[in-house]
Structure 1
């Protein structure tokens, strides 16, 4: 590995074309500078300078080293500032995960916008996945924080912060018999009809939440089709295959051939959102995200 002090000395000599002038620029004596250059040439086993009666001239090999040295020195000079910026949270990256249904809620883009305004030079990495994979990503420190529809298991030692409760609503094909039903629709009124649901493997938290609400109302939904994503279930509803229970925010994304109605039951039908993270992570960016969530 080449000593950075030798590179600084070499750059000065090349730019001054004179060892004596370079020594003055470096605030050192000429003999030690001459020895530094000679040591560098010995280390690389090549001549970097041609000695002239009145100065030096850089060789082709020296020109190549000079360009590389400028890059290395510029990078080395920037390191302290970047390290300080990262320690202050002014640079770096934050990794955020979320399930598909959470990603459709307006709170997430609003949160990211506010974070970006506070830390414009921090990169935001987003990952959409199922809840189990996202929990693993926190345990493995791949993500700093994830947003799910239920809290993390207490046995894992993770912190679950309740962010909000989103109402669940009914999504009906526009030719469905319940379209003319008075609004709101009682959950038990959905019992006779076919259901389309977001596949449990992809949206376990939301799927289980919906089924629990139905069970509490006294019936088990007749699920005729499961969709790989919450948004793709809307295509099936629009096609008349069945109705569904969906988070309220979904109606902002699709209303063609679908009618949305409010839902009521003895127990409120809601889909909560939780922020899951490791409490012991001392991360400035994570702390700011949590501060924004708690406003």
Structure 2
């Protein structure tokens, strides 16, 4: 293993082309410096310097060592700063997970943009998956924080932060009988119509939430088609196959041939969003994310 002090000494000698001047630069006596250089030559079994009448110059082997030494010393000099940056959450990687429907809400890109602006050296990894898989990813420490439509089970010992409540609205084909209704549509008014829903396997939390709202209103929706993704359900709605209940944020993605209406019910129809994570104070990058999330002024604590 190369001695950093010897490499520094060698670099000084090469750059000064003189052992005496190098010793002054290094604030040391000439004899110890000469012994260090000689020790390097013994270690490497190579002559590193050619002695001249008024100084020294690097041999071919010495020139090669000089270039390598500069790289090693630069890396060594950068290590403390990098370690400090990692410890302060200024470098490294942060891993986010989210369900498909949460990924459509504007708070998430806003959060990611602000994080990137403040911590540009931190790499951001994103993963979209179902809620069960995302909770497992927190337990297995694959993700640092995930965003779901319901809190994690209390028994798992995870922290669930209520981020926001998003209204649920009705998405209708533009030729639907209810499309011209000016007022809010009462949830029970949807009982006699066909539904298109986001498949439960892909969006369990949202699917269960929609059904629970329908049951609470007094009916079971007639589901004629299930879509693999929330956005793909819009194709089916536009085609006139049925209507759907969707998070309000979805209306920013498709307006062609679809009409969106507010819902009226005895109990407000909402789709909450939760941040789920391990309460680990040593995860400084996660602490930064939570601080930024709070600064968005959308969280309910």
TM over 0.5: yes
C-alpha deviation, 1:248, in angstroms: 0.3
C-alpha deviation, 1:162, in angstroms: 0.7
- Which residue of structure 2 aligns with residue 179 of structure 1? 179
C-alpha deviation, 1:202, in angstroms: 1.9
Counterparts in 2 of 1:64-213, with a 5 A limit?
64-213=64-213
Q: Distance between the aligned counterparts of 1:75 and 1:132, measured in 2?
A: 42
Q: Is the 8 A contact 2:170 2:262 kept in 1?
A: yes
Q: Is the 8 A contact 2:236 2:242 kept in 1?
A: yes
- Which residue of structure 1 aligns with residue 284 of structure 2? 284
Secondary structure, aligned partner of 1:34 = helix
Secondary structure, aligned partner of 2:179 = helix
Secondary structure, aligned partner of 1:242 = coil
Q: Distance between the aligned counterparts of 1:71 and 1:182, measured in 2?
A: 71
Q: Is the 8 A contact 2:200 2:208 kept in 1?
A: yes
Unaligned runs of 5+ in 1: none
Equivalent residues, number: 295
Q: Distance between the aligned counterparts of 1:183 and 1:20, measured in 2?
A: 91
Secondary structure, aligned partner of 1:66 = helix
C-alpha offsets along residues 260-286 of structure 1, whole Å, 9 cap, x if unaligned? 111122222110000111113333332
Secondary structure, aligned partner of 1:152 = coil
2:233 corresponds to 1:233? yes
Q: Distance between the aligned counterparts of 1:141 and 1:24, measured in 2?
A: 53
- Which residue of structure 1 aligns with residue 2 of structure 2? 2
C-alpha deviation, 1:26, in angstroms: 1.2
Cα 1:280–1:85 shift into 2, 3 Å? closer
C-alpha deviation, 1:182, in angstroms: 4.6
Secondary structure, aligned partner of 1:240 = coil
2:277 corresponds to 1:270? no
Report the aligned-residue RMSD: 2.0
Counterparts in 2 of 1:17-36, with a 5 A limit?
17-36=17-36
Cα 1:255–1:21 shift into 2, 3 Å? same
Secondary structure, aligned partner of 1:151 = coil
Q: Distance between the aligned counterparts of 1:119 and 1:176, measured in 2?
A: 48
2:220 corresponds to 1:220? yes
Q: Distance between the aligned counterparts of 1:278 and 1:10, measured in 2?
A: 49
Cα 1:264–1:76 shift into 2, 3 Å? same
Unaligned runs of 5+ in 2: none
Q: Distance between the aligned counterparts of 2:240 and 2:36, measured in 1?
A: 82
**Structure 1 residue runs of 4+, over 4 Å off?**
none
